[in-house]
A and B are shown apart, each in its own frame.
Chain A
Amino acid sequence: MSKNMNLTLKVWRQKNADTKGKFVTYQAGHVSPDMSFLEMLDVVNEDLTKKGDDPIHFDHDCREGICGACSLHINGRPHGPKHGITTCQLHMRSFNDNDTVVIEPWRAEAFPVIRDLAVDRGAFDRIQAAGGFVSVNTGGVPDANAIAIPKVIADEAFNSATCIGCGACVAACKNASAMLFVSAKVSQLALLPQGQPERYHRVQAMVAQMDAEGFGSCTNTGACEAECPKEISITNIARMNRDYFTAKLIKQEEA
């Protein structure tokens, strides 16, 4: 087992949305390589608390890569240096003794900072509420096996459904575009038979809300896909664009 490390942390501290933030430097000593990144911050926070300072605020909950709460920009990359995992799944063995680690919140206009490293991702919920559903009430639905869905289609829809809503795609994008996130939901439902009746209405409603929230436009650079912890593919964006234009055509024809 490798021995404990000492690290220098440069952490973004910001009291609330209305004040200006700045980087503050902390030393993290005796960091075990078996610790998770968030556990390393826990230890720093215990020290800060004991010294009478405010602990560093950051969002987290499940600490196993599924709830999408954690959201740190580490050394310039959302969720840190490793591919296909969230910040809470990152372990300190990915760092070396005496490293300097820069920790920032997601940076995007549509994700205002709440405090330190925690941001407001409410925009994501509002986009989902605009159309990310199939309109069925509880009860009165057909037997689950009444519709057969080819396994390849079901698997493809599943791949899109694995998005955890973390926002790393937005943070990774130089335009702060939310296309990967939105297209994942649109695709999941567009692929499945249950999603067909509202398919074209859904894509328009969700895209309209996305625009209203102030996310940037997509210029196909693919940074989102590279940083997405769930490896959501940008083919979802292509699929959504197709549906979006079809939807416009349908609307024109109906007009």
Chain B
Amino acid sequence: MKLDAKIPEGPLAEKWSKHKFNLKLVNPANKRKYTVIVVGTGLAGASAAASLAALGYNVKAFCYQDSPRRAHSIAAQGGINAAKNYQNDGDSVHRLFYDTIKGGDYRAREGNVYRLAEVSVNIIDQCVAQGVPFAREYGGLLDNRSFGGSQVSRTFYARGQTGQQLLLGAYSALNRQINLGKVQMFTRHEMMDVVKIEGEAKGIVTRDLITGEIETHAAHAVLLCTGGYGNVFYLSTNAMGCNVTAAWKAHKRGAFFANPCFTQIHPTCIPVSGDHQSKLTLMSESLRNDGRVWAPKTVELAQKLRSGEIKVTDLKEEDRDYFLERKYPAFGNLVPRDVASRNAKEMVDEGRGVGASGIAVYLDFAEAIGRLGEDAVRARYGNLFDMYQQITDENPYKQPMRIYPAVHYTMGGLWVDYNLQTTVKGLYCLGEANFSDHGANRLGASALMQGLADGYFVIPYTLGDYLATIGPKAVDVKHPSFEEAKKNVVDRVNQLLSLKGTKTVNEYHRELGHIMWEYCGMARTEAGLTKAKGMIRELREDFWKNALVSGSNNEFNQSLENAGRVADFLELGELMIDDALDRKESCGGHFRLESQTEEGEALRDDENYAYAAAWEYKGDDQDEVLHKEELVFENVKLSQRSYK
């Protein structure tokens, strides 16, 4: 199969307008004859469901939480980018496009990224119209800040809870359509499979998480908006329920999975405190606007700090190494995430880490408090400081925070073309679940932008083209494909429930996480990856023999839910390793130790690896097949990323 990204011809700035004009339209009177399934109601799903319903389509929406308002988008803290140039500081659609392509280390498509930058301005308008309370200046206009890796102030924010406010906006638009009867909402439902008829997606199989009932739902198209798979690492900043199940089942039904190894490790998270740890908490990147990252200058000082012989506040200025400012004078503490994370790891590897475990560096606000006063710092970051204190029992106004990188976001995901359609016709993928716009590294404040761009402003156009082509003929759940898919799911559930071994599912998950973090985390090598592949296979085999899953199907059974998700992670993990093995270059968050510059920065190999890797599932015990989508750069010059 040849991958066709369907990027429109023509100059970059005209592609999207031209494409919109060329897309077929569904007659307004016919829209109500179509049903669209939207799985996931985070930013991407809620915005898509609300927008499609507003156009007149019937929507069935699903989420695993008890309410759409709890999707993991709610946790985003820092902000959302848009090329509004309200600050008159030189921003433009082109600059946002350029920053995003460069930030992604030239592994994303020009056409997609330009469109993202283009519609970014509409997102802010839309959200404000819904009543989203963005931060404002005293004059009453919207405030902006600069955010990780950007030299202009284009980030809109809502205190430290931008994701919550944006999601509540999208949730309100969704609620309006529920009230109007255009959206039927299924909460506490987990999607377990995609149903295909003659090669096209026509529905899904779900499990009602309260009753255990396995149900089938038919539609003219299916949209997966199911978020990222960072929890394959066990510990991450994702919510506990974040999973790959929906995307993975789609993958097994023919949707290619692209760049699975591109994961983002966020530099500023609260370090692990013990084995009981169930998740990691992000300290927003915005903290790096005023906080300075440092480590003790020598290993000896670090040792004394760790043993408690000296206190951090005892360290003199000349004993501190502000390593980001030292190495990257132009960007300083604001270097992109992958660069900041790797440098923190380097400090720890050198033995200069701090905290009891030695696996942390400092993020220090003393200078900012001196310059701005404690009140101003509290006004900016108060809730984050409180959160830090709550978790660590340390007061960040009085002593620097301890931070360390943690898994945060997955750039990889289902392969989609310019229309957001996967390699399965009628099956679309939006938001973090797709691979489209961030290349090998995502810049801060651009995931919210992408999720809402996909849902509010891209899919309402591109989906219409497909629906107009297939026509409104109803899909029947009595078709044998539905029965087949349902049986698949029932078998899988029974298989999981029959596991009455000795090891809990959590234990397997934790082990998988260790393997992924150790060998497929911030630094990767051929030898390590090869070893990890074997380890994951063994772990997976062991899981299907010795795992322990409690309860039965016909009840609210969190043990079963978790087992299904971990079983899928155990398969995905291996694909991530394959992908990381294939890509012998370093780029963005994918750092192969074998490929670095003399200064230890990621060294790309554009000649051999300027492609998106799209993997095709071939059957349970077979290696997946790699398809390459060559990336064409006509508007930016590929250069070694430099933040010096």
Contacts and interface: CB of A to CB of B under 8 A. Distances in A.
A18 to B, nearest CB: 11
B277 A39 contact: yes
A161 interface: yes
Nearest to B211: A16
B67 A141 contact: no
Contact of B70 (A16, A68, A142): A68
Interface string A134-152: 1111110111110111110
A59 B241 CA distance: 11
B506 A46 contact: yes
Size range of the chain A interface in the assembly: 35 or more
Nearest to B241: A61
A195 B131 CA distance: 7
Contacts of B559: 49, 54-55
Contacts of B159: 158
B133 A158 contact: yes
B66 interface: yes
A63 interface: yes
Nearest to B356: A1
Given A125-B187, A165-B69, A42 B506 contact: yes
Contacts of B542: none
A133 B176 contact: yes
A124 B67 CA distance: 9
B179 A130 contact: yes
Contacts, number: 212
**Majority SS of interface residues in chain A?**
loop
Interface string A97-130: 0000000000000000011001011101100111
Given A42-B276, A50-B502, A125 B68 contact: yes
B275 to A, nearest CB: 9
Nearest to A162: B161
A137 B54 contact: yes
B126 A139 contact: yes
B281 A64 contact: yes
Nearest to B455: A138
Interface string B63-92: 001111110101100000000101000000
Given A161-B133, A162-B161, A49 B276 contact: no
Contacts of A133: 130, 172-173, 175-176, 179
B65 A144 contact: no
B140 A148 contact: yes
Contact of A151 (B74, B86, B130, B137): B137
Nearest to A159: B133
A139 B70 contact: no
A38 interface: yes
A132 interface: yes
Given A39-B276, A142-B125, A66 B75 contact: yes
B173 A121 contact: no
Nearest to A154: B136
A69 B70 contact: yes
A164 interface: yes
Contacts of A158: 133, 158-159, 165
Given A67-B75, A130-B179, A136-B129, A50 B504 contact: yes
16 contacts: A32-B276, A38-B278, A46-B506, A49-B559, A50-B502, A61-B240, A62-B72, A66-B161, A85-B390, A121-B67, A125-B69, A128-B69, A139-B457, A141-B126, A154-B140, A194-B130
Interface of B: 47, 50-51, 54, 65-70, 72, 74-75, 84, 86, 122, 124-131, 133-142, 158-159, 161, 163-165, 168, 171-173, 175-176, 178-179, 185, 187, 210, 239-241, 273-274, 276-279, 281, 387, 390-391, 393, 456-457, 460, 502, 504, 506-507, 548, 550-551, 555-556, 558-559
List 6 A-B pairs, minimum CB-CB distance, nearest first: A148-B140, A133-B172, A141-B129, A138-B51, A144-B128, A129-B175
